[in-house]
């Protein structure tokens, strides 16, 4: 039966080369809005290169389409209206207030010399409130904790309001509590008909928060797991392609809700 749903993101035969070294080899997949896709794999497997190819930040072969439109043919600004990006660690290293950082999210929607309206400032304050940073509007971004910084960038992403969110190891600098808080916010965002693709190191977080997991090794997607339908045996079998001796189990929380988690490696 043909797939009647038009995919939000269609990655078709994407390869990335750095000189003669092939970082991503003929990767193809579809991703739909309202879902979270996790790409897991060891360091150097090509996750970040794939993200950069989707954002057209690196030269690549193949085509990336979003809602049927070819991303490679778009201007930087047009692409920014469709894709927002959360890096491992933001490159902001100058003193700016939390509000100023979030206002930058409006840039793709503004004309070159246009300035922010008071309505935009109100929207920014709401976004800051929604990620739990209420009251910190005029705080210097550099004085925030790493967790708060990522939440501030997440608020900026809310302002960008794009159909596709790319997250490159957004949890890497965060402690246990902040990591889960960030992931809960991301889950909440995806429910708003957004397509979320995140590179992540932790199989536990991928199993807990994503809908589909892509397993990446040596520049290729070697398998995928539908977290909601796959049984434990299938998950263990596929995870073992990346991690030998992995032990994924299913357990219930205090409310009786089932979770899949990694017991040991």
Partner 1 sequence: MLKITNYKNKIIFLSVIWILLLIAVSIWSVFTGQYPLTIKGLLDGDKMMLMVFFRLRLPRVIMGIIGGFGLSIAGYVYQLVFKNPLASPDIAGVSSGASAGAAFAIVAVSASAPFISICAFAGGLIALSITLLTAYAVPGKNKYTIILTGIAIHSVAQTILMFLKLAADPEKQLASIEYWIMGSLNGISIDSIAIPFFITFIGFFIILLLYRQILILSINEDEAASLGVNVTIFRFIILITATLIVSSIICVTGLISFIGLIAPHIARLLTGRNDRFTYISSGFAGTIIMTLSDIFARSLSSSELPVSIFTSVIGAPLLIILLIKSNKKEDL
Instruction: Return the CA Rg of the chain.
Output: 19
> Do residues 17 and 23 touch, judged by C-beta distance below 8 A?
yes
Closer residue to partner 1 in complex, CB, 95/193: 95
Closer residue to partner 1 in complex, CB, 100/237: 100
Joined tokens for residue 58:
């690196």
Closer residue to partner 1 in complex, CB, 74/242: 74
> Do residues 149 and 123 touch, judged by C-beta distance below 8 A?
no
Please state the closest distance from residue 216 (CB atom) to partner 1, in A.
19
Closer residue to partner 1 in complex, CB, 80/127: 80
Please state the closest distance from residue 110 (CB atom) to partner 1, in A.
8
Please state the closest distance from residue 107 (CB atom) to partner 1, in A.
5
Please state the closest distance from residue 176 (CB atom) to partner 1, in A.
26
In the complex, which residues of this chain contact partner 1 (CB under 8 A)?
52, 55, 57, 75-77, 79-81, 83-85, 87, 90-97, 100, 104-105, 107-108, 110, 112-113, 115, 138, 140, 142-143, 160
Please state the closest distance from residue 163 (CB atom) to partner 1, in A.
14
Closer residue to partner 1 in complex, CB, 138/255: 138
Separation in Å, CA 228 to CA 29, 46, 210: 18, 26, 9
| Residues 93, 98, 102, 107, CA torsion sign | negative
Within its chain, how far is the Cα of 28 from the centroid?
17
């Amino acid at each position: 039966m043909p797939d009647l749903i038009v995919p939000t993101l269609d990655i078709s035969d994407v390869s990335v080369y750095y000189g003669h070294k092939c970082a991503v080899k003929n990767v193809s997949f579809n991703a739909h809005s309202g879902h979270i896709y996790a790409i897991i794999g060891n360091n150097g497997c090509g996750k970040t290169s794939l993200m950069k190819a989707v954002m057209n930040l690196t030269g690549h072969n193949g085509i990336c389409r979003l809602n049927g439109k070819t991303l490679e043919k778009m201007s930087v600004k047009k692409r920014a209206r469709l894709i927002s990006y959360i890096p491992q660690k933001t490159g902001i290293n100058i003193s700016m207030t939390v509000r100023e950082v979030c206002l930058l999210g409006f840039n793709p929607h503004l004309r070159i010399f246009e300035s922010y309206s008071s309505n935009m400032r109100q929207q920014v304050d709401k976004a800051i409130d929604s990620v739990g940073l209420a009251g910190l509007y005029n705080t210097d971004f550099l004085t925030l904790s790493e967790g708060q910084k990522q939440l501030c960038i997440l608020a900026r992403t809310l302002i960008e309001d794009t159909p596709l969110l790319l997250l490159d190891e957004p949890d890497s600098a965060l402690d246990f509590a902040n990591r889960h808080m960030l992931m809960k916010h991301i889950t909440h965002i995806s429910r708003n008909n957004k397509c979320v693709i995140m590179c992540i190191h932790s199989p536990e977080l991928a199993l807990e928060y994503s809908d589909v997991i892509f397993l990446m090794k040596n520049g290729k997607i070697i398998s995928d797991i539908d977290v909601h339908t796959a049984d434990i045996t299938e998950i263990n079998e596929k995870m073992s392609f990346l991690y030998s001796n992995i032990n994924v189990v299913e357990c219930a929380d205090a409310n009786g809700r089932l979770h899949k988690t990694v017991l040991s490696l």
